Amino acid sequence: MTKDKKRGLIDRLNSGPVICAEGFLFEIEKRGYMSSGEFVPMVSLENPEALLNLHRDFQHAGSDIVQAFTYNGHREKMRVIGKEELLEPLNKAALRIAKDVAVSPTGEEQNLMAGNISNSNIWNQNDKKSQLEVEKMFREMVGWAVDEDADILIGETFYYAEEAYTALKVMKETGLPSVITIAPYGENIMRDGVSILDTCKELEQRGGDVVGMNCHRGPNTMLPYLKEIRKAIKCHVAGLPITYRTTDDHPTFFNLPDDNGCSCPSPHETTFPTALDPMQTNRYEIGQFAREAYSLGINYLGVCCGATPMLIRETAEAVGLKVPASKYRENMENHYMFGKNKRIPQHIKDYRTKA
């Protein structure tokens, strides 16, 4: 395989796991290039090198897909912040940065560049006008993705079934492979009353190439649904959880309590989105999720909010892949106190339980 040849998404999925890093919003915010809460991806225009670096870090960690960071970069959000005139430049810049990274992989094969649309947050099931507005927003963003030579399209984080169907319809008009993932809230049903399973079945019926779930839920509250989805549909399935310990009582990160001795709560009502840190999953939990999902036959795997390059590497390695960052995977053997290396002095090793 040479660098100018690349396989399509479905070919790759048919022969094994495909890794996709998401979670750009949280990670770019943590890196200091985005305002939390407002969450507009101005980074592609204002600090393009920061976005390029994150893509490169995810690529190094094993992401096969370079997803253009246009999440929330839609017309309505740009209106909210009074910068509608920057909509097209923002989208095109994000797409070009993703393409630059995708065509210059560290491994042998080029990555796939993905255009991205997502939850509009203005969809109203009782208002046809809002629905047409959303469809128009999707169509212009998908159009730019096609102009910038996207290999695939990803529609993600939908919590209205009908909005997901609309996204899929618009994506399918392009003829590109379409990944469509839903993100139901804590009521465990889509906001327009359709069950999670029925939404996924319908998305397959309507031609989704890859159907599944992303965001809002950690491994514990996503995997049980993925099991059902995998059984119910024939197309490839996607699973991209957040990296927080969600529970049956709190299935999403929106209302996740910090009951672990927090001494300085966030100044707003919820731990979301700025005080979730103590509820983070560790890397082994993310690896375990990926392993279990893959063993069920779920080949499209990744991590959403809370993703770091380390967790992408963990996901890739959990399903048997070796990635450039595997060179730097943990090696506790040589730790100065916990390692078993013969050169480590015994009196240091002996102190480990008191450290």
Residues within the interface to Zn ion (CB under 5 A): 215, 304-305
- Smallest gap from Cβ 185 to Zn ion, in A, equals 13
* Spatial distance between the Cα atoms of 235 and 98, rounded to a whole number of angstroms: 26
Contact 189, 195 (CB under 8 A): yes
Q: Which secondary-structure segment (H or E) carries 66?
A: strand 65-67
User: Which C-beta is closer to Zn ion: that of 164 or that of 304?
Assistant: 304
Looking up tokens 């999403």, which residue turns up? 252
CA distances from 181 to 7, 29, 47, 50, 185 (A): 22, 23, 28, 27, 13
User: Which C-beta is closer to Zn ion: that of 60 or that of 216?
Assistant: 216
- Smallest gap from Cβ 350 to Zn ion, in A, equals 44
Contact 289, 275 (CB under 8 A): no
- Smallest gap from Cβ 113 to Zn ion, in A, equals 20
Q: Which residues of 328-338 are buried (b: 16+ CB within 10 A; e: fewer)?
A: eeeeeeeeeee
* Spatial distance between the Cα atoms of 136 and 76, rounded to a whole number of angstroms: 11
Residue 20 zone, left/alpha/beta (φ > 0; ψ -120 to 50; rest): beta
Q: Which of 322, 157, 181 is nearest to 239 (CA)?
A: 181
User: Which C-beta is closer to Zn ion: that of 215 or that of 223?
Assistant: 215
User: Which C-beta is closer to Zn ion: that of 215 or that of 311?
Assistant: 215
C-alpha gyration radius of the chain: 20
- Smallest gap from Cβ 289 to Zn ion, in A, equals 15
- Smallest gap from Cβ 222 to Zn ion, in A, equals 11
User: Which C-beta is closer to Zn ion: that of 21 or that of 86?
Assistant: 21
- Smallest gap from Cβ 239 to Zn ion, in A, equals 13
Q: Which two tokens stand for residue 32?
A: 């200091």
- Smallest gap from Cβ 67 to Zn ion, in A, equals 11
User: Which C-beta is closer to Zn ion: that of 6 or that of 23?
Assistant: 23
- Smallest gap from Cβ 344 to Zn ion, in A, equals 41
User: Which C-beta is closer to Zn ion: that of 71 or that of 294?
Assistant: 71
Q: Are strands 152-158 and 236-240 parallel, antiparallel or unpaired?
A: unpaired
Contact 243, 306 (CB under 8 A): yes
By residue count, the chain amounts to 355
Contact 203, 164 (CB under 8 A): yes
User: Which C-beta is closer to Zn ion: that of 39 or that of 143?
Assistant: 39
